[in-house]
Structure 1
Amino acid sequence: MIEDKLKQLNITLPTPPKPAGSYIPVVISGNLAFVSGQIPMQDGKVLYTGKVPSEKSIEEAQSAAKLCAINLLAQLKANLGSLDKITKIVRVSGFVNCTPEFSEQPKIINAASDLFFEIFGEKGKHSRIAVGVASLPLNSTVEIDMIVEFA
């Protein structure tokens, strides 16, 4: 069970963050769940803000990406009822708030991808983009969205 795997990894899913704009966190269409972009929020506060590498290190940005992944899972659990319903993580899109010359976005988004692989095994292998952007909502360091298949 996925809940057991989360406990083994010392991960407690938070109450999902509320949307920061005029959208809903998860849209279900058929057997796909489209999860809106999640930023590194905890207890209603953005924990990681600023650009990589000038204001945040790669390691801090990786921690931000992992927190985004946890928030994505929290949104899915709230909407699906159980993460065990997930049959495949289809797509992960990662956005890194960074300086123009920075080119190691994949290294940052790997923190989220690796967590999904660790939790879901083969079902966690997904397609992905990892891009740098000039800014993100609330000056967050990372934003990640995803598409999952469920039964």
Structure 2
Amino acid sequence: MPDPEVPVLTIADLGVLRAVEEDGGRLRVTVTPTYSGCPAMDAIRDDVVRALAAEGFGDVEVVTVLSPAWTTAWMSDEGRRKLAAYGIAPPQRRADGPVLVALSVRCPQCGSPRTRELARFGSTSCKALRQCEDCREPFDHFKDH
């Protein structure tokens, strides 16, 4: 099921879909928003219920869980590739341990590392607006967190 704000990603690619459990014919779907106030969560809940109803599941509960908080580490490698192909700079892949400071964000259009942040919040609160110093194109960057 596509994410309503970034339709090239599924909610599984994004790491928002945490679990699907069946108990006596009832499905319980657990989701975690990218931000606690994410405005897309109502749409995600409605889309999950609608998609599962179309597959014959009439008793569906969608539970939003805020802890542990969503992190970009939950995003799949395929999701990162899809973001880049769509023109959104993906977050850096992090290993467990110290948080690494990104020295640059590569432009998804030309690949240049010479970019700058124009605004901390872009088209959605989980993205920042950046601009490439070489090709001059603005682009969204999915923020690391």
TM-score of the aligned structures, taking structure 2 as reference length: 0.32
TM-score of the aligned structures, taking structure 1 as reference length: 0.31
Q: Which has the higher helix share?
A: 1
